[in-house]
Chains A and B, each alone.
Chain A
């Protein structure tokens, strides 16, 4: 009887805690999205009236739209490159023993330890020295440094759980190592690749701390642009831009799922 009571008390408090965590995760985004539809001139919750005027302003705003484009294509490129290099790295760590393996493994995870600001300053100096500051490469390479650890970790976890006997079976059925990877390994760790790609995209798309050091005149990313804007004004335009950003993120996640998911059927 007593344990029944404890059980249900635990269950109820568990559900409550879960609900609060989800609420705290989702509320900021909901708040921003809701207040972006205001017809007033200040960001307020609950919003006054309903209009799409701030969305119209956002779409007409050259700075924000070019920043959105920059962010999107950098993030897509980062996701693709990080997926390829991250898979190669994870595969090597998982399959082979080579001198310095522990070092490589540690190196792949080190950007998770170094504070983003420190990384940003360091990369800025590096790219200045390489004379690359007026190009897109600092942004791209900086984001890759941030994204690859996530990709390596996620794919490494998938590879560890992957049943190697299936690869042996494929090899016994006359598949060459490349065919084994293409027809057995990759399709079977697909869920891992999928989340790795999403991790990489989101890491790049939402990053401001490192990006702020690596952008230049023509190539400002959206988070950096939002920061710059909020510095001087606080109108619902940022809310509308942020909402657009959330939508783009969701669309890309959906697209990645469809894209990689579709290959599975073929």
Chain B
């Protein structure tokens, strides 16, 4: 819709992947003087896919998104949208629609004018513009607010209008920058579900930035975990959670415990502090990833394999209690529902079993900082 004939001439650069790849980043880096914000990031998003960039603040995920939108120019690498090289095109020539963290609705325009803004710039005829605005308002179920100004809307409403404004232009890619960070906890979950439904409904390719692992796990088709400017792992939510590629990914997704240690010749893992886990892992130094749900209270029949644990911290979450345990000098986190009035407290002794079948040991890689 957007590309001029001149831009089509650049197609040969990325010709190997015509078709389903809507967004493609190839070895994209961004330096600010000495600082490297994004280092050699390659990723792609297929048509209709919802890809999430997940990582702690300062990991380069927002810079990556802004490079796709065109607000930040890469120091090296190429960015293609619909197989057209967009690396050096200004934001207004890129077929993207962005929802900003602060929503960035124009305060001097009504809701309807906000949604129509992009369509006016695309020179849509008036009648089509008006019907598209109506259609978008209906999509986000806010038709009754068309003539309000943004300051009269709640945070959730503003977010939906920002989404409607971005989607009105039928962009090739929808870009979401921490879209839920300004909403309170309950609204956040509701908006998350709503947003996912709307995105599924219009089937738009989406790049989504968040630092919230729960958001990433529930919303994405694929997650790109980033850390200090680099991609740690790319995978489906299941792969990221069940088979983390690096200790960082394991630590960032879920509340797991990481134990440094070595796997001996018999396949048994021994942590530095002395906790031993029987199993069939490959020999060598590594990090054991133990998820809270892999630790259970020992039942009477399993007395032989049970371990003794002392409660160090106890956090009550309502549906479950999260315990930090001291087991043979290692700290392990477990999650369990206890009967009312029977919550363990600091210093209590528990008997636990660890389901070693599901535990992964990540082999130590030589010096990856």
Chain A interfacial positions (CB closer than 8 Å to B): 163, 165-166, 168-176, 179, 183-184, 187-188, 264
Q: Which residues of A contact B282 (CB under 8 A)?
A: none
Least CB separation from B102: chain A residue? A165
Complex CA gap A188/B106 in Å reads 9
Most buried by B among A168, A173, A184, A188: A173
Complex CA gap A165/B107 in Å reads 12
Q: Which residues of A contact B96 (CB under 8 A)?
A: 172
Complex CA gap A176/B92 in Å reads 6
Chain B interfacial positions (CB closer than 8 Å to A): 2, 69-71, 90-92, 96-98, 100, 102, 104-108, 117-118, 121-122, 165-166, 169
Most buried by A among B70, B91, B106, B122: B91
B122 to chain A: closest CB distance in Å? 6
Known: A175-B92, A175-B117, A175-B121. A170 touches B98 (CB 8 A): no
B69–A170 touching, CB < 8 Å: no
Known: A173-B169, A174-B169, A188-B108. A168 touches B100 (CB 8 A): yes
B100–A174 touching, CB < 8 Å: no
B69–A179 touching, CB < 8 Å: no
Complex CA gap A142/B105 in Å reads 42
Q: What are 30 A-B contacts with C-beta separation under 8 Å?
A: A163-B102, A166-B104, A166-B106, A166-B107, A168-B69, A168-B71, A168-B91, A168-B100, A169-B98, A169-B100, A169-B106, A170-B117, A171-B91, A172-B69, A172-B92, A172-B97, A172-B98, A172-B166, A173-B118, A173-B169, A174-B2, A174-B92, A174-B118, A174-B121, A174-B169, A175-B117, A175-B121, A176-B92, A183-B117, A188-B108
A184–B97 touching, CB < 8 Å: no
**Set A165, A187, A188: member contacting B100, Cβ < 8 A:** A165
Q: Which residues of A contact B102 (CB under 8 A)?
A: 163, 165
Q: Which residues of A contact B122 (CB under 8 A)?
A: 174
A95 to chain B: closest CB distance in Å? 14
Q: Which residues of B contact A188 (CB under 8 A)?
A: 107-108
A172–B106 touching, CB < 8 Å: no
A127 to chain B: closest CB distance in Å? 43
Q: Which residues of A contact B91 (CB under 8 A)?
A: 168, 171-172
Q: Which residues of A contact B92 (CB under 8 A)?
A: 171-176
Complex CA gap A217/B247 in Å reads 86
A170–B97 touching, CB < 8 Å: no
A176 to chain B: closest CB distance in Å? 6
List 6 tightest A-B contacts by C-beta distance, closest first: A173-B118, A169-B104, A174-B121, A171-B91, A172-B98, A165-B104
Q: Which residues of A contact B2 (CB under 8 A)?
A: 174
B345 to chain A: closest CB distance in Å? 45
Known: A168-B71, A174-B92, A174-B169. A179 touches B121 (CB 8 A): yes
B119 to chain A: closest CB distance in Å? 9
Complex CA gap A76/B165 in Å reads 41
B99 to chain A: closest CB distance in Å? 9
Q: Which residues of A contact B100 (CB under 8 A)?
A: 165, 168-169
Q: Which residues of B contact A171 (CB under 8 A)?
A: 70-71, 90-92
B244 to chain A: closest CB distance in Å? 34
Q: Which residues of B contact A166 (CB under 8 A)?
A: 104, 106-107
Complex CA gap A175/B98 in Å reads 13
Complex CA gap A179/B118 in Å reads 11
Least CB separation from B117: chain A residue? A173
Least CB separation from B122: chain A residue? A174
Least CB separation from B168: chain A residue? A173
Complex CA gap A165/B162 in Å reads 13
B118–A184 touching, CB < 8 Å: no
A194 to chain B: closest CB distance in Å? 14
Least CB separation from A187: chain B residue? B108
B307 to chain A: closest CB distance in Å? 53
A158 to chain B: closest CB distance in Å? 14
Complex CA gap A173/B116 in Å reads 10
Least CB separation from A183: chain B residue? B117
Complex CA gap A165/B108 in Å reads 14
B88 to chain A: closest CB distance in Å? 15
Complex CA gap A174/B171 in Å reads 11
Complex CA gap A101/B260 in Å reads 55
Complex CA gap A175/B91 in Å reads 9
B204 to chain A: closest CB distance in Å? 15
Most buried by B among A169, A170, A172, A264: A172
B121–A184 touching, CB < 8 Å: no
Complex CA gap A147/B189 in Å reads 54
